[in-house]
């Protein structure tokens, strides 16, 4: 790609706790939604009308796009479908944040809430092939400033019934299998540093998002000695307010903090309003709500006019809110 997908959107950089346009040094206001689906379906069916709804009707300036490592490395039509979303979004003034959500569509990393009906496809940590993935995407989008990179969705401890070993980064810098069950900053940071180095060797100007541990919630000890890094947290109603400042709120005074996932159902409006008020009072650099097409839903149906749910109305109003 030689920049045609980005439609003139400027490169983004970080300075202190802010995300800025590289051309003018003006703050970049990144607020939007997740458009999930490409992590579990090669034919997610994302349409131009959806992207128009997300950007023009809702006013989003960023779309977080969860994807699947195995299919991305397979190339072909899957990568062309990602290109198409980037192209549509950038033409309407929105950045695309590529989020490594699943390593593949088949592996189950234990079950959530000890329920066989709730399989977990989100790996605790990357695997060796993730190095190839980010090298591939860094090369593909090195001339596309509209494309942002979210290294890995939700680092977390292995679930009790997850039969798969973790891959850790050894002192030599290479991945190795481990029977450890813990994923703290000590296990995740070497991965984040390694993946960042792989990307930056090819695409030195990339804006890279690094998730926290504990299912991305806790970024308090997540720091990289690198420029243009954004620290990414996920917050849902199961996270009590008393934990927000320590997990990510205090960090926002010093480094760019981005809430890559937050959302709820119609019964969570009180929580949503409290969380939105917290965002107003914190220097958070941006956010993308979950999700345009997955529970908890922001809209009714998958065709226009994309009427918002009750929680979706809250999110839509927050996107429109002036900084």
| 44-75 pLDDT, tens digit each | 889 999 999 999 999 999 999 999 999 999 99
Q: 134, 199 in Cβ contact below 8 A?
A: yes
Q: Which helix (H) or strand (E) holds 60?
A: none
Each residue of 28-64: b (16+ CB within 10 Å) or e? bebbbbbbbbbbeeeebebeeebbbbbbeebbbbbbb
Residue 193 to residue 214: CA distance in whole angstroms: 18
| 263-316 pLDDT, tens digit each | 999 999 999 999 999 999 999 999 999 999 999 999 998 889 999 999 999 999
**Distance between start and end Cα atoms, the chain:** 33
Helices (H), the chain: 48-52, 69-74, 76-91, 129-140, 185-202, 244, 269-281, 310-320
Q: Is the pLDDT of residue 231 over 90?
A: yes
So what's the pLDDT on residue 113? 81
Q: Is the pLDDT of residue 114 over 70?
A: no
So what's the pLDDT on residue 18? 98
Domains, the chain, in order of start with CATH, read 12-320 (3.20.20.80)
More confident residue, 144 or 322: 144
So what's the pLDDT on residue 150? 99
So what's the pLDDT on residue 20? 98
| 148-189 pLDDT, tens digit each | 999 999 999 999 999 999 999 999 999 999 999 999 999 999
Averaged confidence pLDDT in the chain:
96
* Claim: this prediction has a pTM higher than 0.95: yes
Question: In this structure, what token pair is assigned to residue 194?
Answer: 């390694």
Each residue of 212-230: b (16+ CB within 10 Å) or e? bbbbbbbbbebbeeeebbb
With pLDDT > 90 as the criterion, what percentage of the chain qualifies? 93
| 234-253 pLDDT, tens digit each | 999 999 999 999 999 999 99
Q: 200, 206 in Cβ contact below 8 A?
A: yes
């Amino acid at each position: 790609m030689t920049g045609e997908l980005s439609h003139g959107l400027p490169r983004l950089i970080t300075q202190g706790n802010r995300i800025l346009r590289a051309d003018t040094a003006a703050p970049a206001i990144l607020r939007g939604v997740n458009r999930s689906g490409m992590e579990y379906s090669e034919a997610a069916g994302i349409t131009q009308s959806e992207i128009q709804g997300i950007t023009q009707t809702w006013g989003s300036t960023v779309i977080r796009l969860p994807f699947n490592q195995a299919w991305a490395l397979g190339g072909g039509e899957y990568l062309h479908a990602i290109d198409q979303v980037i192209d549509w979004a950038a033409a309407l003034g929105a950045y695309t944040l590529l989020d490594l959500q699943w390593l593949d569509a088949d592996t189950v990393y234990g079950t959530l809430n000890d329920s066989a009906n709730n399989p977990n496809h989100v790996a605790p940590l990357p695997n060796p092939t993730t190095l190839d993935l980010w090298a591939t995407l860094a090369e593909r989008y090195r001339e596309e400033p509209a494309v942002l990179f979210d290294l890995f969705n939700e680092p977390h401890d292995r679930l009790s019934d997850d039969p798969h070993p973790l891959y850790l980064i050894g002192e030599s810098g290479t991945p190795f299998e481990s029977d450890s069950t813990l994923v703290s900053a000590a296990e995740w940071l070497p991965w984040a540093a390694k993946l960042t180095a792989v990307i930056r060797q090819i695409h030195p100007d990339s804006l890279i998002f690094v998730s926290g541990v504990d299912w991305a919630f806790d970024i308090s000890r997540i720091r990289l000695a690198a420029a243009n890094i954004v620290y990414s947290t996920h917050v849902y109603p199961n996270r009590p307010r008393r934990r927000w400042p320590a997990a990510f709120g205090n960090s926002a005074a010093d480094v760019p903090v981005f809430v890559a996932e937050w959302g709820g159902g119609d019964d969570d409006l009180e929580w949503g309003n409290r969380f939105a008020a917290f965002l107003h009072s914190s220097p958070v650099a941006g956010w993308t709500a979950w999700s345009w097409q997955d529970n908890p839903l922001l809209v009714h149906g998958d065709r226009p006019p994309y009427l918002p749910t009750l929680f979706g109305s809250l999110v839509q109003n927050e996107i429109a809110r002036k900084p």
